Amino acid sequence: MMLNTSFLSMWLSNTASTAMMLPIASAILKNLFGLKEIQKDLSRESEENAAAVRTKVRHPVSTEIQFLANTEELQVMSQSPTGEGAHHVASKTRSKDCPEEAETSLDLSATSTKEEEYRRNVWKGLLLSIPYSASIGGTATLTGTAPNLILLGGLKSFFPQCDTVNFGSWFIFAFPLMLLFLLLGWLWICFLYAGMTLRGWRKKKSNIRADAEHRAQAVIQEEYKNLGPMKFAEQAVFILFCMFAILLFFRDPKFIPGWANLFTPGFTSDAVMGVAVVTVLFFFPSQRPSLKWWFDFKAPNTETEPLLTWTKAQHSIPWNVIILLGGGFAMAKGCEQSGLSLWISDQLHPLEGMPPMLAVFIITAVIIFFTEFASNTATIIIFLPVLSELAIRLKVHPLYLMIPATVGCSYAFMLPVSTPPNSIAFASGHLLVKDMMRAGFLMNLIGLLLLNMAINTWAQPIFQLGTFPEWAHNHSASVTALPPASVANKTLRAL
């Protein structure tokens, strides 16, 4: 599930990937544990959310859902052929008059309690793994998440001569980082919620758990068969998507000459492939054309619907995101032109005496903490102009500070309000804030350590981070034309 979600998030938005995969995860869990177990989990989660209301925790489960869950549990238990349901109902009736006797009669065996706890933890772990993997997978491509696009636009604005970052070079840097983070994140979630330990690998699975896994696998295979063969439109979109990814990756991958070298420098960009593929979608037919039509002059000229229509595109394109990105570019340029980013970088002079590696670690930690309470887009819009000016003052490669800040904006795992995928998972009603805090804190720490390891190892030769580039020298000469005091005075007067 984590691999599938992260792959989708590389090409779709994190929110869309999470909204697509969560229903699939719920269906798998229902077939894995059966109806009776799911109703028990819903009842227990309703009790936990009711307790959350008493402690003033947000997003509680409504009273109607709690009542329905408890009623369904009574109905299922009462229909049990072994008579356990009647005993359960009778014990609940006696609990009104004799609470001590009720508590004694409701004690479960150790095995049953462990199985129930295991089911509930697996449910929470799977719900958390999907938004986490969506946030991680979005960092692997430039088009995966909004902060990556803002970084690319900011580089075009701050350093027009910088051509180091493109789809291929970013993918070579971010894809191994994504795989490592997914692996460690999977291990952490399995250890926290699935009870995976070194000793557990040697233990044999129980018959109940093995039967449930076989039943869920059979359901998945049956649903896959119901999909049937791929349609012509699906095949066409898949081929165009593969062409789009290959052309993006090999345009200028840096480690080998790309096909962009066949043209004049600056003639092609990543946007060229996007516009070209989308243009093909507007006139490519959605149904397989007949070759007889080309030779039969008496055949009727019937209209064929294309793969993509303008009406569909008009309703599907997130225009609000485009306007948000444009506003972010304008705000970042305003901070640069007004001197506000230079003034803020002057206040960070204590970082000048630190080693660049330590400065990057501190900056990344601050941004990861900041993005827990603010949106990823707002965070990178605020910090990107400041970091570009700070890199000039520290005489380090600007990407050495800007890339960790950009990727760190997507590492928000602790709170439901941190990212839309977290909010979608939390809205399912099976998670509490403490569950996300407990799992997300170590996820943030793992992301911080992996990101700093990546920027100081394999990112160095990819982006030439060990040098101070010529385009940064040109920007430094233009920025330092005014003394810092006059820039600060102008900025304060503007505010």
Q: Quick one: pLDDT band at residue 69, thresholds 50, 70, 90?
A: very low
pLDDT number for residue 491: 38
What's the pTM value of the predicted model, to 2 decimals? 0.74
Mean pLDDT confidence for 279-306: 78
**Residue type for 269, please?**
S
Considering only 80-89, 233-242, 249-258, 357-366, which range has the smallest mean pLDDT? 80-89
| For residue 31, pLDDT beyond 50 | yes
Digit-coded pLDDT (tens) for 204-240:
666 666 776 777 778 778 878 888 888 999 999 999 9
pLDDT number for residue 36: 45
Burial class (CB in 10 A: 0-12, 13-18, 19+), 1: middle
pLDDT number for residue 203: 60
CB neighbour burial string for 84-120, b if at least 16 within 10 angstroms, e if fewer: ebeebeebeeeeeeeeeebeeeeeeeeeeeebbebbb
Of 329, 415, 432, 425, nearest to 368 by C-alpha is 415
* Total length of the chain: 495
What lies within 8 Å, CB to CB, of 2 at 6+ separation is 129, 130, 132, 133, 182, 185, 186
Digit-coded pLDDT (tens) for 419-431:
889 988 888 878 8
Mean pLDDT confidence for 439-461: 95
Digit-coded pLDDT (tens) for 346-381:
777 777 788 889 999 999 999 999 888 888 888 888
| For residue 55, pLDDT beyond 50 | no
CA distances from 284 to 11, 41, 304, 400 (A): 21, 49, 9, 43
| For residue 110, pLDDT beyond 80 | no
Mean pLDDT confidence for 287-299: 71
Mean pLDDT of the residues in the chain: 77
**Angle of helix 207-227 relative to helix 14-54, nearest 10 degrees?**
140
Cα–Cα distance between 476 and 375 in angstroms, integer?
A: 30
Digit-coded pLDDT (tens) for 300-344:
667 778 899 988 888 888 777 778 777 777 877 787 778 777 777
